[in-house]
Amino acid sequence: MRRRSLLSLPVLAASCPVRAQAPLALLTAGPGSAFLPYGEGLATFLGRQGVAVTVRRTTGSLQNLSLVEDDPNALGTAFLGSASDALQGTPAAGGRRHSEVRALFPMYETSFQAAALRVSGITEFAHLARRRVGCGPARGPAEVFFRAAADAAGITAEVVSGDPAVQAEALAAGHIDAFWQGAVVPIPSLLLALGR
C-alpha cells in the first residue's frame, strides 16, 4: 500500500496548478573555490529538472550557513567542520548557534594542502613559520584550520585573507610565500592561476 501511495505522488504533483516561485538561492564561494563550479553545475542540473536556482557567490561556508539559517529558500555549500561550528555556536561561527540548517548530502571529501613555489624552500609545514600564508576568506574554514594546525605545530605565520583565485595568483607572483586551501585535488584556484 505504501509503495502505491508513494508512486502516486508524482501524478498528484503533476496535476496541481503550477505557482510561480522565487528561485532558490544556491550559496557557493568566490572565484577559485571548489564550491563555485560545484554550485554552478548543481544549478544547471536542477534547472534541467525545472527548479529555478540562482547561484550567489559568498565568502564561503560560515557566511553560507548564516544565510541559510535566515532564509528557508536558500541552499548553501559548507565544510562539515564549519557546519559543526555553526550548530554548536563556537567562536569560529561568531558565537551564533544555528538551529535551522540541515545537511542534504556530502559533496566531496576535503583535505587541506599548502602550496609554495619551489624557490621558497618550503618543503614542510614547519617552514611556514614567519611566512606570509594565504588562507582564503577571513575567518573561513581554511583560516580556522590553518591557525589550529600552526598552533599545534608551535609556529606563527602571517595569515593573509582573500579570494582563493587572487591568492593563487599572488603565490605565483611571489607576493605571498604559501597558499593554504581546503579543496578537491587538483586545487581549482591553482589550476586557474596556471592557466590549465
Q: What homologous superfamily does CATH list for 111-193?
A: Periplasmic binding protein-like II (3.40.190.10)
Strand extents, DSSP E, 28-116: 53-56, 74-76, 111-116
42 is written with which cell numbers? 548543481
pLDDT at 81: 85
CATH of domain 2-93: 3.40.190.10
Dihedrals phi, psi of 159, to nearest 5 degrees: -80, 130
Contact by Cβ (8 Å): 126, 165: no
Q: Are 192 and 37 in contact (CB under 8 A)?
A: no
The DSSP symbol for 85 reads H
Outline which parts of the chain fall under CATH 3.40.190.10: 2-93, 111-193
> Residue 158's pLDDT is what?
98
What's the confidence (pLDDT) of residue 13? Answer: 42
**Which residues does residue 46 pair with via DSSP β-bridges, in sequence order?**
none
**Residue 159, beta-bridge partner list:** 133
Helix %, strand %, coil % for the chain, to 5? 45, 15, 40
For residue 90, which amino acid is it?
T
CB 174 within 8 A of CB 117: yes
DSSP letter for 139, please: T
Cα–Cα dist 189/130, whole Å: 24
Q: Tell me the pLDDT of the chain averaged across its residues.
A: 86
Burial of residue 141 (CB within 10 Å: 0-12, 13-18, 19+) is buried
Q: Which three cell numbers stand for residue 131?
A: 611566512
Q: What is the pLDDT of residues 20-48, one digit of tens each?
A: 678 899 999 988 888 999 999 999 999 99
pLDDT recorded at residue 194: 80
- Amino acid at the residue 93: A
Residues (pLDDT < 70) of the chain are 1-20, 196
Radius of gyration of the chain (CA): 20
